[in-house]
Structure formats: C-alpha cells, structure tokens
Structure 1
Amino acid sequence: MTLLAFLLLLALVPAGSARGRHLPKAAISSPVFGPRQVYGVLGGSVTVKCFYPPTPMNRHDRKYWCRQKGSSCLTVVSTDYVAAGYQGRITLTDHPEAEHFLVNISALELKDAGAFQCGVGVNGRGLSYRVTLSVAEAPPVPEAPELFYVKLRSTWTATCGFGKDTAEQRRYLCKKEKEGCRNIINTEQDKDIPERVQLTYEDPPGSFRVTMTQMDWEDAGLYYCGAGEYGKDNTSKELDVFIYEDKNFPHLKTDITAKNGSSASFECLYDPLINSSTRFWCKRKGRGCDTIIDNTGYVKKSYEGRVAMFENPQNKTVTIILNQLQEKDNGSYWCMSNELRDLQSSTELSVIPGEPTLTGKKNVEAQAGSRVNLTCCYPCKYYSFEKYWCKWSNTGCAMLPAQQQGLPEPGDTCNRSIRTAVLSLDPLAKEDEGWYWCGVKRNGVFGETMAVKLLVSTGRDAKLSPELLDVDSSHEAGAVPPGGALSDAEVRKGAAPESSDESHGSNTLALVLGPLAGLILIVVTAFAIVKYRQLKRSDLVSVGSYRTNISMSDFESVRDFSASNSVKESQETPMGGDEFITTMDTPESAANTTKAKRSSKEDADLAYSSFLATSSSIAQGSAGGDSAALDVSPPQDRV
C-alpha cells in the first residue's frame, strides 16, 4: 500500500520540476567538456579543444589525451609525455586563463580514427570527456559544432552568419529534442518571447547574435541557429552547450519584487577595472532591449533623476538603482556589455501596491540665499543601516554629508517609530538645484532609496516650503540683526526700496482714507450718544470677572420689597470663587442712590465734552498735512 502511494505521488510530480532538480548526465559525470565528434582528412590535421573548470588545482594539474581500449585508456600525449608513433605530429597546449587545453594532430592516418578521452589529472579519475575522431579519405567533411562551456547562472552568447544573401530571411534559434527542434526565438515572433533571451542583428548583413541569460542545468544540449526554416534550408549551424558549476561565480537575483513608489537595486557582474568595456543597462522590449543608462554618462531622458549606476571595485560588480517605481516599470531588465558578454544578466521586476519605507517631501522649492533642510524619514528597522544623501547626475550620485536627527539616547533601545536623516544646504545657491537621493545600505550593499527634486528660485516671489525650510529670522529680507547694521550681502538680500510711483500711490491713498475715517468717527460718536441716553438710568455692576448692565428699576423693586421689612437682610451666592452680593437697603438709602445717580449724569456730561474735543483732534490729524482739512463741529443739541 505504501509503495502504491509513493508511485502515485511520483506520477503527480510535474516533468519540468523533475528535470530542474536533476543534473544532465554529462554534468554529473565530469566537469570536463569537449566535442562529441571530430572530423579530419587523410594527411591533414585536426584540433580538439577540451574545457575544464579553472580551479587552482586544475590549472596546475596534468592534462592528457588518451586512446580508449576496452576498460583502460592509453595515454597518447600529456603535459610531459608523447607516445611512440606520435612523435613530431601531436602537441598538447594548455591555456588555463581560457579554461581549456588544445590537442593538435597532424599527418592524419586512417588508423588514427577511434574513441579517445581528454581529461585532467590521472587517467580514470573521472575528470574526462569522450571524443570520437573520424578520418575521411577525401573532403568534404561535416562541419563540427561550435562548443560553449558555460557557467551555471551566467550568460551564453552565440553569433551566427550566413551571408548577405540571407539578410531578408527569417532568423531563428531552436533546441534539438526527440520530437524535432523546439523553437526558442525567431525574428517573426511577436509574443511569448522568453524574457531571458534576445536576438539582435549584427554586421555584416546576414549575421545575428543570440543571448541567453541565467543559464540553468536544463539549458545544456544541442542548438541550431539558422536562416529560413529549420530542416528546409541548408543554412544552419550546430551549437553544443555544456553547463558546469563554478562555486566562486556569484548567483544574482533573477526576480525582484518592490512596492509602488519605492526603489529596486539590480546587481550586474561588470569588472570596473576594464575601462575599455562599454557597460549599459536596458529594459527588454520585444526581441530587443531599450537602453536606459550606460557608463559613459548616457541616461534616457524619461529616467533622469530616477536611475543611477554605482561601481563596486571590491567585488567587481555594478549596482543599478531605479527609484520612483510605477506599475509601468514591470518587466525584464538586462545588464549588457559589448566585450564581457558572458557576464551579462537579466532580472525580472514586479511592482506591487504598497507604501515605500523611506518617506519625505518629494518636491521642494526654496529661495536662493536661504537655508533648506531635505528630510528623509526612515523606520526603526533601518536603525543600524548606513544612511546617506547624494546629489544625482548623469554620471552617478555623488555622496554628501548628512546630519542624523532623532537618534535615541545612549543605551536606549530602538523602539521609536520614526527617525530622520537630514541634508542641510545653507546658503542655498542656484547651482544646488537638481535631484537629491536619500538611501540606506548595509555592508556596502545598497538598499531602498528616495528621490527629492529641489527647485531654487531667485525672485522675490519665490515660494518657500515651510515644512522643510529652516530659515533664520534674523537673516530674513529687511531684518536688522541685533546689535548691528546689515552687511552688504544682507542688504542685497533685503527688500528693494520703494519706487517713486509706489510713494505717490501711498499719498493718494492717504488723501482718500483720511476724510473717510473722520466721517466714520462722527457716526460712531453719534451712536455712542444715543446709547448713552438709553442707559443713563443704569449703573454698571461687577459680577466676578464679567461686566453687565442692571436697570435701576430692579433696585427700586428691591427697595419696595425692603420697605415692608424693618430688618436689614443680606444674601450671598458664590459664583466660581467670586461673590455676587445683593444688598436690600432701608428707605433712607434711596436718597443716597438718587444722589449717586445725579453725580453719574454730571460725570457723563464732562466725559462727553472731553470725547468731542478728542474726536475733533483725531479727525484733523488724519488729514496728515493734506491741503483739505475735515471740519468736525460738535452737535448743536447738547445734553
């Protein structure tokens, strides 16, 4: 029962998954690789190329070419040996820097044909590859396939050419399988093009190049590149691809997922020490690739301020950072080189909804001569990361000093929700305008970034950003610093003196507003007189911290009530700490109240006379020396 369940589970495993888990037979048996079949002509010569991994041991180990006889393999030639019968007509040359050695056999004889092995070390150790040599009596001989010894996760590039007569024909690359030759890419293909494969035209006409990145174990095998239709036109070339693993070869990310509005970092295997190599980064479009940035200073216009290239000489890589991500940035991006084609790579970018981790104002406008703070807020998880500011340009992003703010006290744990990295520019100049990047990195590896666009205005009407600007008030336009006069530079920053036209406009405004102010004053005075007459029988009484008007009729009703009571009473009501006291007096106190009322009327008359005199003086002063003076006369009817 258990065996039956196991077989059922094995049957459900996808074929593709199983193929991806198991290595090809050649890769399992030996990392040494050579041609499967070699052809020569009687009396002519043949050269066999055998590849091997460039480890320190393999570089200095013995290389050999042996003839297979039964279960043994007899050495024909090695690094320090040549067998009898081959003296003077066979050589073995090692090229460790190119990861291969060459075996050349001249003056071929028919008896030279047979099964051979090329290998590294001692015969039979397993680091060898089987090669069949065929010797024909006369030409022609079949063309041997071109060999490619490709590192796992690296890039394979092949160039095919069939003459200018085929320039208008369809170009293709297919992989040989049992059912035929499976299409990989062709020039008539408009959809379902693999993201890690591209086909480009080359010179001379009729030539083209195929590039395949992120090579995996299942990519090993026989391929055919050609013009026209495979099997119909006699214009094709056999390509034999072998995959081996180099543990020192870095494995790059093949897929990156980033949030909308944030950034993504792409690592490219470039060698910065090779200055003659042109390195560029592009986005896959159809069968080609649209260049975005290169190491010569080119940046596509629509990507200005968004993309930058950082070289890392320590690990011989280049990091490409793309920020301000949008949904349209989804796609496949390629690291390309005109010379180091085996170091090319591709990465698939997926932009998903979400909020970026680094936040701050993305567009800042400030006035020249002021001080501006560009603020980058980062979460607690980036506390131990290195924070940086840099100024973007077509050639990169130059690092700038950044002031850290919001850091915890010594001994404090990282439990606060937000901190800031601030770039201060003081005084601000016109040449400071441009793009500034804030970012984090750890152990030299670049992380998330945020871009800020700074605009610098030089006019008086420049819009400042109060959220990000920190301008010293003592240096504002027109302000005089304490204890001294303005310097020449500060005078230039201050407001310009008013022109004669502005002064004339101010005088005209005073002539109009002066009489109008006097008229308003007369109306207010008349209203005050009427109000006074209405309230002349009322006194003001303080209630706590408020003031209110209480009519004398209320006091009279209280007085009448108290006349029926010969005993003096007092009631007190507390209000918020203050006391509101109502006293009920005897009839004798009414006379004192009437006297006080008359005294209040006399005081009001005196205050009214003083108010009219003051109003006349104010009306005359509002004219400010103008030729037309306003004549304010007191009312004829005096109270």
Structure 2
Amino acid sequence: MILLAFLFLLSSLPAGSGRLRHLPKAAISSPVFGPRQVHGVLGGSVTVKCFYPATPANRHARKYWCRQVGSRCTTVVSTEYVAPAYQGRISLSDHPEAENFQLNISALVLEDAGTFQCGLGVNGKGLSHGVTLSVAKAPPVPEAAELFYVKLRSTWSVSCSFGEDTAAQRRYLCKKEKDGCRNIINSYQEIDPDFQGRALLTFEEPPGSFSVTMTQMDWEDTGLYYCGAGEYGKEGKSKELDVFVYEDKNFPQLKTTVTGKNGSSATFECLYDPLKKSSTRIWCKWRLQGCDKIIDNSGFVKFGYEGRVAMFENPENQTVTIILNQLQAKDEGFYWCLSNELKEQQSSTELKVVKGEPALTGKKKVEAPAGSRVNLTCSYPCKYSSYEKYWCRWNYTGCAVLPAQEQGLPEPGASCDTATRTAVLSFEALQEDDEGWYWCGVKRNGILGETMAVELRVSSGSDAKHSPELLDLDSSRELGAVPPGGAYSDAEVRKGDLPESSSSDESHGSNTVALVLGPLAGLILIAVTAFAIVKYRQLKRSDLVSVGSYRTNISMSDFENVRDLSASNRVKESQETPMGGDEFITTTDTQESEADTMKAKRSSKEDAELTYSSFLVTSERIAQGSSGGDNAVLDVSPPQDQL
C-alpha cells in the first residue's frame, strides 16, 4: 500500500516539476566527459577531446580509447599502445594542464563507425565516457556540439556569433528538455526564475555576437543547451552546447547568500589569482539589462557609494573582500565578482537585508570646527570582546588603518560591560584635510567582519579673541543720539528751535532727567557688556558638533575622561598601515595638553578680573563726569596702563 501511495504521488507531480527536469547528482557517476557523438566523412579525419579532473593520480594514469562490443571494450589506442589496424592513422596526446586528452583519427573508413569509450586507468573502473562515431560517405555532416567541462560552484561563460544580419533578432540561451527548449535568458530581458541573479546576457562586437555567463553552477546545470538568434526550432540560427558539471575538491566554495542588518554592513568574498597582476577585478550589482559596476581595483567607486564600499585584496588565500556599509532595503539583490581573466572564478552572491540593530554603534555624522579636539567613538557588544578592533580612513582604493585606543577593557575576572566598551579615534587639532569617511571595524584571524562608517566634516573655525580692551563702544548711540549727519542730541538742542509754548522750567526738567538717566544707562550697558564677555569666554571652550539634524554645544570637559587614552596627538597619513595588519601605532598625550587646559582656565579668569577692573574705573569716571553740566560726555576708554 505504501509503495502504491508513493507511485501515486509521483504520478501527480506536474510534468514541469523542478525536481524531475534537473539531472540528479547520483546520475553523474563518472568525472570523465567527452562528446556524445562525433561525425566524420569517408577519407577525412576527426578529433575527439575527453576531459578528466587533473588530480595527481589522473595525471599519471593510463588514457585509452576502446571499441565497445557487448560487455567488452577492446583497446584501439592508449598511452603505450596502438592497435595494428590503426597504425599510422591514430594518435593520443595528453594535456593534464588543460584537463583533457585528445584523439585524432585520419583516413576514416566506414568500418571505423561504432560505439567507443574514452577513459582513464584500466577498463571497467567507471572512469570512462561513451562516444558514438559515425562516418558519412560524403559531406555535409552535422556540426558537433561545443563541450564545456565546468567545476561545481564555478562560472560558465560562452560566446555566440551568428553574423551582422542577426543583430536585430532576439538572442537567447535555452536548455534542452523533453518538451522542448526551456528559456534560460534572452535579449528581451526574460529570465527563468531559477536563474534569477545567476545568468547574464551581454552584447559583444561585432554586431550579432553576444555572450552568456552563468555563476554558481550546480549539478542540475549539466545538460545540452542552445544559444541562438530568433526562435528555437522555428527560425534563425542556433548552436549546440554540451555542459558537464563535476566536483573539484580543491575549488573554493564561497557563500551564495549573505545576510546583513539594516544600517549595518555586509562582507563579500571574490576569488582571484594574485599572480596575474594585469587582472581587472570588478564588483557590480546584477540587473536584467547588465551588471552595474560599483567598485573595481583601479580606484573606481560609483557615485553615491563613496564611504560605503571598499575592496581589500588578500593574496594569502587568493580572495578579494568587499565590504558594503550602511545597508538599506534597496541594497538587496545579487552582486557579481567579475574578472577579465580566469572567468571560472567569477561568482555571484545574494544580499538579504533584515531588520535589526547593528552591533557597532556610534555617531554616524560628526561636524566640528577646525582646530578643535574631536573623538570618534565606536561601541561594540560583548560578543566582539575577543575580536581585534580597528579604525581606518576610507579612500577610493581601500581603508588605511589608523592608531586607536579601546576603553572599558575588563580587569581579570571582570564581567563584560557593554556600555563602556568603546574604540576611540582621537584628533587633537582638527584640520580641514581630516574631513572624510572613517570606518570602525572588527576582525578575527585576519578575516574582516562588521564595520561602521562615520562621516567627519570640518567647518571653518573662528580664531578671533575678543577682550574688554578691544571693545569699541559708541556711547552717543547708546544714549539716544543719532549717527553723524543726523539731528542734534538732546543736550545740544537750541532754545530757538523749541516750540514757543515751552518754558524754561520744562527745559531745566529735561536736563535734570538726562543727568540722572545718563549715568544709570551707562552703568547698565557696561554691566551687560562685562557679562557678555565672560559668557563668550566660556562658550569659546566648547566644540560645535552636528549629529544628524541636531546641533549641540558639547564642552571639551566631556572628553576629559578619554584624554589619557588618546591614540595620538594628531592623526597623520604617514601613520597609516596596510589593511589587515595586526599592529596599531599608538602614542600617548604629552603634558602640553594639560598645560593648555590650565592656561585656558587662567586666561578666562584674568579676562573676568580685567573686565571687572574696567567696570570700576569707568563707574568712577561716570560719577565724576556727572557734575560737568549738560554737555558732559561719557568716556569708557580703559586706562592707558591696561592697553
């Protein structure tokens, strides 16, 4: 009953089910591959190419070509032997570096047709591939399929050309199946869902030529394909492609999917051969109409990705690491590693962005005036306690490591305190050329992990220092007078200009009010001025920091607790070390910073005392000048010994 139920379920599956239309891994029993059928002409010649994995054992194993009759296979030619009937017209050449050996048969006769096997070692071990040879009396003969021997998880690339007259036609790649040829991708931007992000069609020169690249080749991708112009089986031209996927234990297996949290970062790996110095390495985002280049190893970074993406080469393990920062939902998709050499090392990776909080936290945008002291901070969770932390300055060719310090390091036996674990990058005297992007990151055993990008902006700082002796007070304006060229002051109004109804008593009353209010207004003005100067001196010791859309004044005393842990007195490009280094250049602050702080405090105190002294002298002069009559002028100039 169970068997009947199982058979019923199998029969109920759709004819186009993905599980049935793909070749299972178990069906690929032999890593040897060659043509399925070879066609020749009477009196002509044929060449047969058989592929095999170039392992150390296979390199030295016997290669052979035998004729199959029933359950037996009689050797025609091998590495050490040639059958008498084929003497002088058959040869076998081995090419282990190209992972194949080739047979050439000339002076074909009708008796040469039949079923053969090409293989390795001794007959009967399964390391062989069946080939059917047909000999026609006259041409033409069918065109043989182009063979492709592709490693598992690697990339397959094919170029097809059908002439300039096909340039306006639909170009396509399809896979042969029982019910027809299944469309993989075409020039009308139609793609099979199973190949989304894996297949790319590109137009080439001359017109009518194109190429198709497929990444992450799997067992199910083995089979017959057709590339063509027009419609398969109806019109146009096509070419048969025979693809065989085999497993190479030494071929690196890269991640096919990378997941990153919103606002965090994602790390991708690409393969490359470090011995090929001329190789161009490109990282791009896959689209139906092509691959949008984001960064390459020549210093190109696409607009809008500055500070967000960086490329690092690791010759030791023959990889290129790409880190994409500040992840957003729109970053989801497929990303390709491309190279102009060793196309099998091209690869694709799908990025998925999920909701969540980044592990590395801190201010993502910092603005400060030139000359100020700034600390860039990066807090990390307890899970990164054993990781190596670093700060680096981003540029178009990478990210150069800078000296930094860690805070909140636990004592022996102490528990992890997330709130105090911080990596700090300090700037003692910020300069305009410090503006740019800085990355905080973690790595373990040389493998780069999560990063956080911080944009530092430097505004123009004001170096003007105001002191009481430099203040220019125009007392006449404060007392109600108008600028030169205007009307007379109240004390200078002529009697003839007054209305006839005004009496001498009213004039005397006005002068009395002026004598009382004048000195009082002057005292109030000087007191307000002294208060403003002291307040200005206090504000002078604050840094203006911009975080997102909020601006706030943060006193330099807020950073005093990290002064002793400063990485250096001034970050310079000459201190940069290559990315991936295990050592950081660190220095400590000198006593000059403390001296500068004490000097600033003494300067502030002296300014306040000077202002108060000026206030007392001025008050005394005002009191003395009040007896000088209606035309007395206030003199607020400081004594000569204070200038």
Could you say which TM-score interval applies, normalised by the shorter chain?
0.7 to 0.9
Q: In the TM superposition, what whole-angstrom CA distance separates every residue of 1:102-123 from its partner, at most 9, and x where no partner exists?
A: 1111222222111111111112
Matching of residues 456-605 of structure 1 within 5 Å? 456-460=458-462, 495-496=464-465, 503-505=471-473, 518-519=519-520
Deviation for aligned residue 1:280: 0.3
Deviation for aligned residue 1:77: 1.7
- In structure 2, give the amino acid aligned to 1:303: Y
- In structure 2, give the amino acid aligned to 1:345: S
Aligned residue for 2:439? 437
Give the conservation status (yes or no) of the 8 Å contact 2:222–2:244: yes
Alpha carbons of structure 1 residues 631 and 287: separation in structure 2 relative to 1, 3 Å: same
Between the aligned partners of 1:373 and 1:21, the Cα distance in structure 2 is 59
Aligned residue for 2:587? none
Aligned residue for 2:243? 241
Between the aligned partners of 1:110 and 1:2, the Cα distance in structure 2 is 53
Between the aligned partners of 2:149 and 2:615, the Cα distance in structure 1 is 103
Between the aligned partners of 2:226 and 2:323, the Cα distance in structure 1 is 37
Alpha carbons of structure 1 residues 499 and 179: separation in structure 2 relative to 1, 3 Å: farther
Q: In the TM superposition, what whole-angstrom CA distance separates every residue of 1:66-86 from its partner, at most 9, and x where no partner exists?
A: 111221212222222222222
Q: In the TM superposition, what whole-angstrom CA distance separates every residue of 1:133-161 from its partner, at most 9, and x where no partner exists?
A: 11122211110001111111111111100
- In structure 2, give the amino acid aligned to 1:110: L
Alpha carbons of structure 1 residues 499 and 72: separation in structure 2 relative to 1, 3 Å: farther
- SS of equivalent residue, structure 1 residue 131: strand
Q: Does the alignment pair 1:629 with 2:629? A: no
Deviation for aligned residue 1:261: 0.4
Q: In the TM superposition, what whole-angstrom CA distance separates every residue of 1:351-374 from its partner, at most 9, and x where no partner exists?
A: 122211110111112333333221
Q: Does the alignment pair 1:312 with 2:308? A: no
Between the aligned partners of 1:152 and 1:292, the Cα distance in structure 2 is 27
Aligned residue for 1:544? none
Aligned residue for 1:275? 277
Give the conservation status (yes or no) of the 8 Å contact 1:515–1:622: no
Alpha carbons of structure 1 residues 68 and 183: separation in structure 2 relative to 1, 3 Å: same
Aligned residue for 1:117? 117
- In structure 2, give the amino acid aligned to 1:349: L
Aligned residue for 1:327? 329
Between the aligned partners of 1:5 and 1:130, the Cα distance in structure 2 is 37
Between the aligned partners of 1:514 and 1:264, the Cα distance in structure 2 is 77
Deviation for aligned residue 1:305: 0.6
Deviation for aligned residue 1:13: 8.5
- SS of equivalent residue, structure 1 residue 381: helix
Matching of residues 351-390 of structure 1 within 5 Å? 351-390=353-392
Deviation for aligned residue 1:393: 0.8
Deviation for aligned residue 1:3: 5.2
Deviation for aligned residue 1:630: 2.5
- In structure 2, give the amino acid aligned to 1:213: T
Structure scoring higher RCO (CA < 8 A, sep ≥ 6) equals: 2
Aligned residue for 2:342? 340
Deviation for aligned residue 1:623: 4.4
- 2:207 is aligned, of 201, 205, 208, to 205
Give the conservation status (yes or no) of the 8 Å contact 2:389–2:423: yes
Between the aligned partners of 1:619 and 1:503, the Cα distance in structure 2 is 13
- Using the size of structure 1 for normalisation, the TM-score is 0.73
- In structure 2, give the amino acid aligned to 1:112: D
Deviation for aligned residue 1:628: 8.0
Give the conservation status (yes or no) of the 8 Å contact 1:517–1:622: no
Give the percent of matched residue pairs that are identical in Structure 1 and Structure 2.
68
Between the aligned partners of 2:515 and 2:153, the Cα distance in structure 1 is 88
Give the conservation status (yes or no) of the 8 Å contact 2:23–2:220: no
Largest Rg, 1 or 2: 1
Deviation for aligned residue 1:444: 2.2
- In structure 2, give the amino acid aligned to 1:255: T
- SS of equivalent residue, structure 1 residue 228: strand
Between the aligned partners of 1:8 and 1:255, the Cα distance in structure 2 is 36
- In structure 1, give the amino acid aligned to 2:455: K
The range that moved more, 41-50 or 165-174, is 41-50
Between the aligned partners of 1:228 and 1:104, the Cα distance in structure 2 is 35
Alpha carbons of structure 1 residues 78 and 401: separation in structure 2 relative to 1, 3 Å: farther
- In structure 2, give the amino acid aligned to 1:253: K
Between the aligned partners of 1:522 and 1:450, the Cα distance in structure 2 is 56
Deviation for aligned residue 1:288: 0.8
Between the aligned partners of 1:283 and 1:412, the Cα distance in structure 2 is 46
Aligned residue for 1:215? 217
Aligned residue for 1:155? 155
Give the conservation status (yes or no) of the 8 Å contact 1:306–1:324: yes
Deviation for aligned residue 1:401: 2.5
- SS of equivalent residue, structure 1 residue 235: strand
- In structure 2, give the amino acid aligned to 1:158: V
- In structure 2, give the amino acid aligned to 1:630: S
Deviation for aligned residue 1:333: 0.9
Give the conservation status (yes or no) of the 8 Å contact 1:515–1:623: no
Give the conservation status (yes or no) of the 8 Å contact 1:620–1:630: no
Give the conservation status (yes or no) of the 8 Å contact 2:197–2:287: no
The range that moved more, 258-267 or 430-439, is 430-439
Between the aligned partners of 1:94 and 1:164, the Cα distance in structure 2 is 38
Between the aligned partners of 1:66 and 1:294, the Cα distance in structure 2 is 50
> What value does the CA root-mean-square deviation take over the aligned residues?
3.1
- In structure 2, give the amino acid aligned to 1:67: R
Alpha carbons of structure 1 residues 236 and 499: separation in structure 2 relative to 1, 3 Å: farther
- In structure 2, give the amino acid aligned to 1:504: D
Between the aligned partners of 2:10 and 2:410, the Cα distance in structure 1 is 57
Q: Does the alignment pair 1:87 with 2:93? A: no
Alpha carbons of structure 1 residues 305 and 83: separation in structure 2 relative to 1, 3 Å: same
Deviation for aligned residue 1:509: 8.2
Give the conservation status (yes or no) of the 8 Å contact 1:24–1:220: no
- In structure 1, give the amino acid aligned to 2:276: I
- In structure 1, give the amino acid aligned to 2:164: K
Give the conservation status (yes or no) of the 8 Å contact 1:262–1:325: yes
Aligned residue for 2:292? 290
Deviation for aligned residue 1:249: 1.5
The range that moved more, 352-361 or 182-191, is 182-191
- In structure 2, give the amino acid aligned to 1:36: R
Alpha carbons of structure 1 residues 132 and 497: separation in structure 2 relative to 1, 3 Å: same
Aligned length: 503
Deviation for aligned residue 1:100: 1.1
- In structure 1, give the amino acid aligned to 2:91: T
- Using the size of structure 2 for normalisation, the TM-score is 0.72
Q: Does the alignment pair 1:302 with 2:304? A: yes
Give the conservation status (yes or no) of the 8 Å contact 1:517–1:619: no
Between the aligned partners of 1:521 and 1:300, the Cα distance in structure 2 is 63
Between the aligned partners of 1:507 and 1:521, the Cα distance in structure 2 is 8
- SS of equivalent residue, structure 2 residue 253: coil
Deviation for aligned residue 1:198: 1.0
Alpha carbons of structure 1 residues 342 and 365: separation in structure 2 relative to 1, 3 Å: same
